[in-house]
A and B are shown apart, each in its own frame.
Chain A
Amino acid sequence: MVGTLTRSERRIGIVLSVSLGLLGLGMAAGARHGVMAVHGMMALGLGLALIFHIGGALYDEPEPAPGRSGRYYDAPTRFGIGMTLLWAIVGMAAGVWVAALLYWPEATPPWPWTSFGRLRPVHTTGVIFGFGGNALIATSFHVLQRTSRARLADALSPWVVLIGYNLFCAWAVTGYLMGSTQSKEYAEAEWYADLWLVVVWSVYFTLYIRTLARRNEPHIYVANWYYLAFILVVAMLHVVNNLALPVSLGAADSFTIWSGVQDAMIQWWYGHNAVAFFLTAGFLGMLYYFLPVRSGRPIWSYRLSIVSFWGIVFFYIWVGSHHLHYTALPYWAQTLGMTFSVMLLVPSWASAGNAIATLNGAWHKVRDDATLRFMFVAAVFYGLSTFEGSFLAIRPVNSLSHYTDWTVGHVHAGTLGWVAMIVFGAIYTLVPQLAGRETMAWPRAIEWHFWSAVGGTLVYVIAMWNAGITQGLMWRTYDESGALSYSFIESVRTMAPYYLLRTLGGAMFLGGAVICALNCRATMRAAGGREDAADHPLSLHPAE
C-alpha cells in the first residue's frame, strides 16, 4: 500500500490514522465498559497499526514513479480481493457450523458467544457484507477504471473505503458475538457502526463520481450503471432502515425509531432490496464486465440491458411486502408487493437471457474454461432463483413456503449459485491480471473448485427445497376428524436428514472457497516484485 502513495499522501494517511485512533479512544473512554469500549479499542488498535505501517515507510520506501496518473491503480483491488477471500472463509465457516448445530444442537459449547442466535448473523453479515461487499468494492474499482479509461480520482480514498468498510464488518460481527444487535435482519449492527458506514459510503460514492468525471469515454458503460445503483440505493436503504435513537451515547444499545407494522414494512423494504441492490445490482455490474471480457464477446443486446436495468431499479423497490403475506400488514400493500414481484421476472430474465446469449458462439470456451463456466452457471442460477422468487411471492404459494426452509433454499440458490459463482468467475479472471501473469498458479484447482461449488449448491438447495415443502405441508395437514395431523416437534424431527445434507452441501462449498483462497495466494506470491507491478497503462482502445 505505502509504496503506491506519495510522501504528502503518506502524511495525510497518518493524519487520518491518528483521527481513527482518537475516535476509538473517544469511544472507549466514553463507554468505559461493554461492547462499545471493545469496539473503541479495536479502532484505536487499527489506527495505531496504520500509523506505524505508514510512518515506518514514510521516508524509506521510494515514491511511486512520476507517470502514475497514466496508469491504473490496482493495489486497492488486490487488497480488496484478499479481504473478500478472508471473509468468504470466515462467513461460510460460520454458516457450516450453525447448519451443523441444527443437526447436532448438543455441540453448542456452554459459552454465550458460541450460541446459534449470535453466530447466525455472523454468517449472514460475514458472507453478504464481508465476502460480497468486499468483492463488489474491489471489482468496482477495477471495472470503473477500465471502462472509463481513467485512473481512480485519488490514491487515498480507495483505502479509506476498504479499510473503513472492513472495520464496519469487524465491528458488526464481533458485536453480535458479545450480544450487541439491533435484531433487524441483515442490518443488525448498532448505531455507531451504522453511522460509520455512512461516512465510508459517502467517500465511496464521491470517489466513484469523481473518477467517472475523469473518464475518457463519452458513455458510462452498463456495468457502472449497476454499480452506481448499488451504491446509491444501498445508501438510501441503510439510512432509512437504521434510523435509531441510542439509549446513551456511551452504550451499544439503541431503539429503532420505527415500530410495529411500519417497522416490519420498512425492514422488508430494506431486506428485500438488500437482495436487489446489494446482491443483484452490484453483481450484475460484475457480470456485465467480466463475462464479455472472459468470453471475448460483446454483450448480446445493448437495448435489452437498458430495459432490464430500469426495470430492475423501478420494480424491485416495491416487492419487499411479499415477505409479509397474511400478516398484519394491510392487504393492499401485500398485493402490490406480489404484483411487482411477478412483473420483476421480466427484467430479471432479460438480464439472465442477455448474459447467456452473450455466450453464443463461445460455448467451446464454456466447456474448456472453468472460469467462464463459473459465470455461465451464475447466469443460469440467476435466472432460476429470480423465477423461484417471483413464484414464492404469489400469495397462496407463500402461505406454504413462508417461515419454512424453502425460503432458506431459495436464498442459497441465489447466493451460492448466483452471487458466489459470479464472484469466483471474476476473481479467477482478475487475480492473474493483478499478479501480472497469464494464468492462476494452479489451473487444475479451478476445476476442483468449480465442481465442489456446483455440487455443494445442488445438495444444499435440493435438501432445503425438500425440507421446506415437507415442513409447510406438515404444518397445514388435517386428519379426518378435523384436527391438525402433526405436532410441531414432529416437523422438527422430520428435518434431521435434510439438515445433515445441507451441512454437507455447505461444507463442500466452503471447501471450494478454501481452494480458491489458497490458489489466489499462490498466484499472488508468484508475482513478487513491486506492489504496482501489475498496473497497466491506460488502454488506448475503446472500452469493452
Chain B
Amino acid sequence: MLRLHYNLEKVSMGLVAAIMVAASIGGIVEIAPLFTIDETVTLPDDLRPHTPLELAGREIYVREGCYACHSQMVRSLADELDRYGPYSLAAESAYDHPMLWGSKRTGPDLARLGEKYSDAWHVAHLRDPRAVVPASIMPAYPWLGRPLDTRLLEAQLATLARLGVPYDDAMIANAEADALAQSRPASDGAAAVVARYGERIAMRAFDGDAERLTEMDAVVAYLQSLGTLTNAPYQIIGGGEQ
C-alpha cells in the first residue's frame, strides 16, 4: 500500500480518483439499501400527509429554527417511552421533506405533542413562554399573530406532490382555501377539507379568533398534528387506539 501511494502521489488525477473511490464506498453501502428495504419503505395504510395549514405551520417551525432546540424523534429507550410516548417509526416521517428529527433537546421532544395541550396553552406559550412556564428559556414569538401568507401554498403542495407526497390535484388546487377552511369549521369549505384529509384532522380556530388566519393558527395546527398522522406507533407499542 505504501508503494502504491508513493506512485499515486506523483499523479494528481490518480490521487483525485483514489480519494473519490475511497470516500464513496461507505456512503453507498449505508444509504442505497434504505431506498429498497421493507423496514424503511413500507407505509401504514392510515398515514396521511400534512394539511396545507399544518404545512404552513411546519414552514414557520423551520423558518424560526425551532428544530435547533427540539427533536422530533423518540428513541427506543425506556425513559423516553415513559417521558414522551411510543418510539418514533421510520414511516411517520416518510412524507417529511426534510425530516425534522433534530439533534439537540434544549427543550423537550415534540414527536408526540399532538393534543397534549389545549390550543390556548400553545398560543399563550408561544407568545410568552415564561407566562406559562416560569423557568422556561424558550424565546418568545410575539410576531406570530400576524396574518398568514398563503400565496405559496399551492406551489408548495405541487412541489411536494412531484416528490412523491400523495397530494392529488384537488388538494393542490384548493390549498389556499383549505388552509382558511381548516381554521373556520363553520365555513362552507370545511366539509371539503375533511373529505380530502380525513376525519382525524383538527378543525378549529387554533388561535382562538376565527376571523383572522394568522401564523399562530398555522403553527398551532402543526404542533397539534405531531404524532397523529398515523396510528401505527400506538398499535405496535401501545396495543391499540391512542
Contact = CB atoms under 8 A, between A and B. Distances in A.
A337 B34 CA distance: 15
B76 A326 contact: yes
Nearest to B100: A183
A257 B97 contact: yes
Q: Is the interface of A mostly helix, strand, loop or mixed?
A: helix
Contacts of A488: 83, 107-108
Contacts of B37: 330
B66 interface: yes
Contact of A236 (B2, B23, B69): B23
A348 to B, nearest CB: 16
B142 interface: yes
A110 B142 contact: yes
A263 B98 contact: yes
B65 A260 contact: no
Contacts of A258: 97-98
Contact of B5 (A185, A310, A399): A310
B13 interface: yes
Contacts of A267: 98-99
B41 to A, nearest CB: 9
Interface stretch (A60-68, A77-85, A316-324, A353-361): A316-324
Q: How large is the interface on B (under 10, 10 to 19, 20 to 34, 35 or more residues)?
A: 35 or more
Q: How large is the interface on A (under 10, 10 to 19, 20 to 34, 35 or more residues)?
A: 35 or more
Contacts, number: 264
B75 A325 contact: yes
B65 A115 contact: yes
B34 A333 contact: yes
A256 interface: yes
Interface in B13-69: 13, 15-16, 19-20, 22-27, 29-31, 33-35, 37, 39-40, 59, 62-69
B159 A105 contact: no
Contacts of A471: 105
Given A262-B31, A328-B90, A102 B137 contact: yes
Interface stretch (A14-22, A213-221, A442-450, A454-462): A213-221
Interface string A344-366: 00000000000000000000000
B170 interface: no
Contacts of B234: none
Interface string B189-201: 0000000000000
B96 A260 contact: yes
Interface string B125-167: 0000110010111111111000000001001100110111100
A255 B160 contact: yes
A2 interface: no
A263 B19 contact: no
Interface stretch (A5-13, A227-235, A428-436): A227-235
B29 to A, nearest CB: 7
B103 interface: yes
Interface in A262-288: 262-267, 269, 277
A261 interface: yes
Contact of A317 (B23, B33, B90, B142): B23
Contacts of A307: 1-2
Given A118-B64, A269-B30, A310-B5, 4 more contacts: A262-B34, A306-B5, A399-B77, A489-B136
Interface of A: 101-103, 105-106, 108, 110-112, 115-118, 120-121, 176, 179-185, 209, 212-213, 218-220, 225, 228-229, 232-233, 236, 240, 245-248, 251, 253-267, 269, 277, 303, 306-307, 310, 313-321, 323-330, 333, 336-337, 340, 399, 402-404, 407-408, 471, 475-476, 478, 483-484, 488-489, 492-493, 495, 499
26 contacts: A105-B137, A110-B143, A112-B143, A117-B67, A118-B64, A181-B62, A181-B63, A209-B16, A233-B19, A236-B24, A246-B159, A255-B160, A259-B97, A277-B23, A303-B2, A314-B26, A317-B25, A319-B26, A328-B90, A333-B33, A336-B26, A336-B30, A408-B104, A483-B82, A489-B133, A495-B137
Q: What are the 8 A-B residue pairs with the smallest beta carbon separation, nearest first? A: A117-B65, A318-B26, A326-B75, A317-B26, A328-B90, A260-B93, A179-B63, A403-B105
